[in-house]
Structure 1
């Protein structure tokens, strides 16, 4: 009946959006040094994560906020997938910022990969340089490629085109997606390449070309690093991202903590580069 069909559609939409709304990470990686929960580093981390959760100024899906100085400096690198609508992007960033301390408690390096955004924080990171660790890979083992030679020719041609297109982006977005016909197959191959916009053209190309691919006999692979992201598949996966309603304005972020004069190494200064 029509009623049952509508119910089924609603259930499908809920299942489709649940990973975005719940903020579940597909993968996380933790490392670096340890910090105490009452430390200056944790205070700086809270400042950055609160600012990420509450930001309503950025509309292009790239965040690079920092707080603190010296070994207590917290740097963040957050990139939404280039085809994610603003509401979906902000929901992903907000959820990721809330979940990251739980995923990597007490560790200065944390990387979280979600369907529509990545988040990376560290006390040992310089903007404008390729951050190629950690790396996360997901391989579609359900289907293997029959004509490996023709598939690889099509794949390499597509990725080379997309890498150059993404690298030609601006300081707000370095993203490209496209499709090609698979040589000798008759099917299509879809690809997506994205770099964090703090990278220049040369560094973006270096990062994207250096992304390790498990093999080229699988019909789909996604590989995520803090500075770049590469994905291909024989099924379309980009350009049809659901738009999650913008969340209600969050509570005001915690006040910035400032240290007494003469202790500059512990200052907390929120800066967006």
Structure 2
């Protein structure tokens, strides 16, 4: 587990459980507070049936599946989603790992969410499948700051240069999110932008759950895009992940295959291997994690870093 720099608990309005794991691909998990179940209970049996169906059907359904098992008070709903650029083998392996891990990190919790680079799993005794709320958002930023070697003339006090970079990232996400919402059945899109020599080539990814309508997906992504300057200004990359939609950008390639959207002049490059993990020098466990139960949630935990590594 990586050490976290000193943080200030600005707001602590819920006792959601957040941890950083030593697992290579696991990003984080959230154990809910809606109660616990016992061994050999009906809820325990329903959970096993649910997770088995989710992992099996998701691979068959191109990386997404949701289901509800049982009747109240032992009813449980869940969904799984694999990143849109991974193949069925990676998707299946990630989902099996998530089921195994979540039982260890959130033992007997009736509600849990666990995220990896390549997949996510959420289940709850509360019905959430009909909701468009982007539950359990986590904000993670690249620990590498933008420097003059990355952007010519970069000066943290120079708002013009900073705004130019932020505007470029926003332009990228407008294109990538439009593709995910309106041109992809998976509700998944990737892109790259290179519009001026003074700014770095930047890569982006947007994804929604495929059951979202075009406009619902686009609105979910726009909410995240609007939040990005607040958290990521001055950082080489960042991501906001949620159960329903997610975004990420970096100044290096991190997705598999050719980008769906290309803005500006892009050199021919070999697509990266989606099974490889970025080195710690490029992207590592963030110094700041913000967990939000919904876009307009009333309860959330937020950590504000006082120092950067």
Using the size of structure 2 for normalisation, the TM-score is 0.66
Alpha-carbon contact 1:49-1:98 (below 8 Å) kept? no
Written as runs of structure 1 = structure 2, the 5 A alignment for 1:18-167 is 24-38=25-39, 39-55=41-57, 58-144=60-146, 146=154, 147-167=161-181
Q: Structure 1 residues 53, 126: CA separation in 2 closer, same or farther (over 3 Å shift)?
A: closer
Q: Compute the displacement of 1:193 (Å).
A: 0.1
C-alpha distance in structure 1 between counterparts of 2:58 and 2:247, whole Å: 28
When the two structures are aligned, how many residues end up with a matched partner? 222
Aligned to 1:112, what secondary structure does the other structure show? strand
Aligned to 2:101, what secondary structure does the other structure show? helix
188, 192, 203: which one pairs with 2:201?
188
Match of 1:269 in 2: none
Using the size of structure 1 for normalisation, the TM-score is 0.74
Gaps of 5+ in 2: 1-22, 148-153, 155-160, 257-271, 277-309
Gaps of 5+ in 1: 1-21, 245-273
Alpha-carbon contact 2:59-2:91 (below 8 Å) kept? no
Q: Structure 1 residues 54, 132: CA separation in 2 closer, same or farther (over 3 Å shift)?
A: closer
1:200 aligns with 2:184: no
Alpha-carbon contact 1:176-1:194 (below 8 Å) kept? yes
Q: Compute the displacement of 1:167 (Å).
A: 1.1
Greater fraction helix:
1
Q: Structure 1 residues 129, 183: CA separation in 2 closer, same or farther (over 3 Å shift)?
A: farther
Q: Compute the displacement of 1:71 (Å).
A: 3.5
1:168 aligns with 2:182: yes
Match of 1:238 in 2: 255
Deviation per residue, 1:178-229 (Å, 9 max, x gap):
0111556242110000000111122212221222432322110011101011
Alpha-carbon contact 1:174-1:196 (below 8 Å) kept? yes
C-alpha distance in structure 2 between counterparts of 1:56 and 1:70, whole Å: 25
Q: Compute the displacement of 1:118 (Å).
A: 1.0
Q: Structure 1 residues 125, 159: CA separation in 2 closer, same or farther (over 3 Å shift)?
A: farther
Query: How big is the alpha-carbon RMSD for the aligned residues of Structure 1 and Structure 2?
Result: 2.3
Alpha-carbon contact 1:28-1:113 (below 8 Å) kept? yes
C-alpha distance in structure 1 between counterparts of 2:132 and 2:273, whole Å: 27
C-alpha distance in structure 1 between counterparts of 2:200 and 2:105, whole Å: 40
